[in-house]
Amino acid sequence: MYVVDPSLASAAIPDVLWPGKGQSRPVASTLTAFPQASTVVAGRLMRRSGAALWWCAPPLLAGLGAALPILDSTLKAVRAGWMPAGDDGIIATRAYDVLSSHTPLVGQYSEAGLVIHGQVMHSPGPMLYWLLALPARFGAVSSLPVTMGAVNTLAVVGCVMLARRRGGLVLMLGAALAVALMCRSLGGEVFHDVWNPSAALFPFLLLVFLGWSLACGDAWLLPLTVLVASYVLQTHLMYAAPTVVVLAVGLGGLVVGRRRTWPWALVALVLAAGCWTAPAIQQIENSPGNMTMILRTAEHRGQALGAQVGWHAAVESIGVTPWWLRVPASEWQRKREVLQTPPAKATLSTILALAALALMAIVGIGTRRRDLAAAALIGLGLSAAIGLEAASNPSTPLLAETLGYTMWWGSELGLWVWLVLAWGLWLGTSALLHVARAAMSERLRVPAGAARGAVAAMTLAGIGGVAWAGAAAAGVVHPDSHAYDYRPIAAIAAGIERVVPARVTVGYGFGDLDATTQPMEPAIRFLLVRHGDRPLAQGSLPRLGSYYEPYRRTVQWKVYLSGSPRPVRNMRLVARVRFAGPWGSEQLSAWVRRIRLVSSARAQRPSRPSARPRGART
């Protein structure tokens, strides 16, 4: 039901609906005036609807065009029969545990804790598990990558919409095109993977745009910024330094702007309390807690890679040709690239880009253009953050290898720096054109309708270009690294579930597994959990918690996975698969055995019943 604005109605029909004091109008005259008021109100509603559609449709279409690689990769994973191989199986199992009595209070197990002997460390919080809790329990297993694909798509659309808000159609199209091109630099599995370094990659990009908008005075985005920042921080420690940079610039801009922020700040505080309650409980209940472990790891990380590697990481992210514009042979090759000396043109272009950002920040502060200053400061801060992260990385062989994925967000850093510099150049050029147009306004007049038509045509052409770039990026996406394991995992799990009943405790063991078959073990464990069973295995404590440790608990069935063709004594073969892996022909077998339990009453019963005494009552 629509309410007519009194000022609008009085302007349209002042003599009929709004008579003066003591006046009266015939009913017929009043009725004839209603069509006029309805026409005015309908016209205004149509104009407002058209304006809303014009604002929402372009960024939505451009964002979906930029997200085509994500959509394509997710669809291919579902068609391939996605299964949570490797660390994905651990994450899926912990996500299933969220809606249980042993809900996780911390995030994924981190090998960074190995710098201190005997230390067990996890990512700061369980928000990734919360996100995947429902798809882990309900629906098909493929609902997990579908969920991540949807989250990443929404993150890209959000970035494009915020770019439209900050810089109009030009920045919107530029941001969408940049995201589509950046997708070529990432592995295809990243777009839908539940693995924690991948799961926060596109939400972090959204956080950068949120922090920028926050610094520009959009206080209503504060709750969403806190929610996304908490998710990114809890998912993986590789995002800690850049997240601090974005929050510092965003909150600093709000403070400088002196906007009325307390209602949004109150909502943000409530959200932050909800997001960080579980890690706080774990820290209080355990001595030492996980947060203490993280601080100890940072303090005692040992020999680091050094400042030279940190500078190389910044140059590879920003300098010509930056990471975000390359198509890598492997998504892990950045761990080698940061150890090599970059070419001179990359170093020089990086220095020029950082100098341009510094100049842009000075100009923005001097002219009170907070959008310019904040964008440039975020770029400078992120450049320092990636250098610090690479330089402080431990040099031990195992942890040095992690640079293969902790440098992924360098693509987003390069995208941001180049996008901000291009936008600043556009603003300067537009200012000159505006002066020239003002001087020629008397000679050259463009009809308003023709100008709107030209803008609409260029916008449609730009969206088409973004969609083409997104489709091209989808064409170079690599298949999942464990795609060859998906069908065998499903076959092995189906064979086990045909024999082992649901809701039983299972002794879970495995042996003779290699680099191809070992990632199948966590996936099969997760499928047992989804089946309703409780698989107990030695060494489960660091990654899955005490609920899955044997601790002399009674089991009803035993399940054993073997990569060897030899039979397992006293066990029944229920499934065997042969498949082609990256290193040749592989096989995996599943063996089960039922454990017959003897009740305590039966164990205490004598082997021969004694004679019943005479006269005894039965």
Is-above-0.75 flag for pTM?
A: yes
> CA–CA separation, 427 vs 438, rounded Å?
16
Residues 550-578: tens digit of each pLDDT: 998 999 999 999 999 899 999 999 999 99
CB of 58 within 8 A of CB of 172? yes
Residues 24-78: tens digit of each pLDDT: 445 555 555 556 666 666 666 666 665 666 678 999 999 999 999 999 999 999 9
Q: Please tell me the least confidently modeled range out of 12-21, 163-172, 202-211.
A: 12-21
Q: At 576, give phi and psi (nearest 5°).
A: -150, 130
**pLDDT tier at 23, thresholds 50, 70, 90:** very low
Tell me the C-alpha to C-alpha distance, in Å, between residue 492 and each of 525, 571, 577.
11, 15, 7
Residue type, 412: E
Contacts 24+ apart (CB under 8 A), 157-161: 157/59, 157/60, 157/63, 157/64, 157/67, 158/63, 158/206, 158/209, 158/210, 159/63, 159/205, 159/206, 159/208, 159/209, 160/59, 160/62, 160/63, 160/66, 161/59, 161/60, 161/63
> CA–CA separation, 55 vs 530, rounded Å?
44
* Eight-state DSSP code of residue 38: H
CB of 364 within 8 A of CB of 428? no
* Eight-state DSSP code of residue 88: H
Six token digits for residue 549 = 């440790």
Residues 237-293: tens digit of each pLDDT: 999 999 999 999 999 999 887 767 889 999 999 999 999 999 999 999 998 899 999
**pLDDT above 60 (res 349):** yes
The 3-state DSSP class for residue 562 equals strand
Average pLDDT, the chain: 87
Residues 83-102: tens digit of each pLDDT: 999 999 999 999 999 999 99
Tell me the C-alpha to C-alpha distance, in Å, between residue 559 and each of 501, 535, 562, 590.
12, 9, 10, 7
**pLDDT above 80 (res 608):** no
Q: What is the mean pLDDT of residues 433-462?
A: 72
Residues 394-415: tens digit of each pLDDT: 988 888 889 999 999 999 999 9
